Amino acid sequence: MTTKKLFLSICFIIFCFRGFSQNPQIIDTLKIHQQIKSFGLNEGLLDFNNNFFKSIIFKNDSTLLYNPNGTLHLFEIILSDTPVVSKLTNGEFHGHNFGRLLFIHDNIIYSFGGVGLFNRFSKLIYFDSSLKEWYEKQIKNYPFDSRKVVNSWNYGDKLMVLLNHYSKFDDETPNRYTNYSFGEIDLKSFEYTNHFKFERSNESEFSFPKVDFIFDSNKYSLFGSKNTDGSCRFNLFDKSSGELLFINNFKNVVFPDGNSFIYLNDSIIFYRDNMGIVDSVDINKTTIIDKKNYIKIFRSKKKGLNLFLIIGSILSVGLILIFILKFYKKEKGFTDSDNQLKEIENDLIKYKGVILSKEELDDSIKISHYSYETIKTRRSFIIKYINERGKVNIERVRKQDDKRFYEYKIN
């Protein structure tokens, strides 16, 4: 044994002695499986060999609970040299909870979401140990149109959840139901709070990757996937930040078989090999290859929608301001013209009873400097304006010496 491994083994023993939780004993899967077979259950449904290590959670250091993925069977397993397996549920197989989230809160085991048999389940159920059955937990303000749980994790007294809803149907998309919401369930008051909603036609980036091994702690979830050569790669999920961390530690670790095992204790990842030698890595010091923050991904879809609304709102406000400015200028222009026309009207009063030529009238109403077409237009407008006011009347009359032309009589 190398000095490093000897030191780590001593540290591990010290940790155990200090009473740190979740230092699991050997998990003899062969003996456990033999006892489970004695209950006469459908082995095809249990799929023990493939699903066991992603269907267990630790109740304490020596007791784990096993809920075969896709079933509502529940077993308690007391770990020792000869493990003791008890079947806690009375009922036969029923339900559709493949991919459900299994967790313990306040010593109660919960199952959230799941799919199977062409059905989807978006509710929270709990196991009643006295009645030995699963029951739905009622949640205040929970969306009535929830279709399925796309992703979820529990952290402290909160259950974070991304839901897909029935309320939006798009026949052109492979996912079809495009309405999503992200929120949380308070596991003390069992009340749902929605944080935001968004629309998306594809949900492939919203879910955790499929894994063969899960170990859950208060702050982190450890996900393991078996490679074709029997080795295993691991990722960490930080429940507090919603961030999946891709790590490259334990490169030569084989897939845990119970004798070998990988698990979390606070912020330390421990690996126990088949020789019983323990190695460890501090999560705070481990090498992070890449990160994927699910909350940011969810929120980015909302931001895209919000950005569209914000741009639309800015454009709307801008158009309104332009309209107001134009209206103000127009009104100001009308006011200035109105004052100018009143001055012209006062000047024309002194010509009452006088006939003015076209040129003399144009000089009097101050338009003679414009072009020919503009003069015609403005003259017509001013005559109409002044006549409507009634203080002065401008009457167009034919010239006495040449009937082809007009003059303007001021009355």
Q: Residues in the chain, how many?
A: 411
- 164-201 in b/e burial notation, b at 16+ Cβ within 10 A? bbeebeeeeeeeebbbbbbbbbebeeeebeeeebbebe
Q: Rounded to the nearest 5°, which phi and psi values hold at 206?
A: -95, -15
Number of other residues whose CB lies within 10 A of the CB of residue 210: 9
Three-state DSSP class for 390? Answer: coil
pTM exceeding 0.75: no
Provide the angle, in degrees to the nearest 10, between the axes of the packed helices 294-349 and 372-389.
80
Q: Rounded to the nearest 5°, which phi and psi values hold at 259?
A: -75, -50
Apex 111 CA angle, 16 and 88, nearest 5: 70
Structure tokens at 410: 């001021």
Which residues have CB under 8 Å from 146's CB, separation 6+? 122, 163, 164, 165, 166
Q: Please report, in tens digits, the pLDDT of each residue of the chain (411 residues total).
A: 454 444 444 444 444 433 344 457 899 999 999 999 999 988 888 889 989 999 999 998 899 999 998 889 999 999 999 999 999 998 665 666 889 999 999 999 999 999 876 788 899 999 999 999 999 999 999 999 999 999 999 999 999 999 999 875 555 555 578 899 999 999 999 999 999 999 988 888 999 989 999 999 999 999 998 888 777 888 999 999 999 998 876 666 788 889 889 998 888 988 888 888 888 889 888 888 899 999 999 999 875 545 555 666 677 777 777 766 655 544 444 444 667 777 788 878 778 888 888 888 888 888 877 777 788 888 888 888 888 888 888 888 887 777 777 888 888
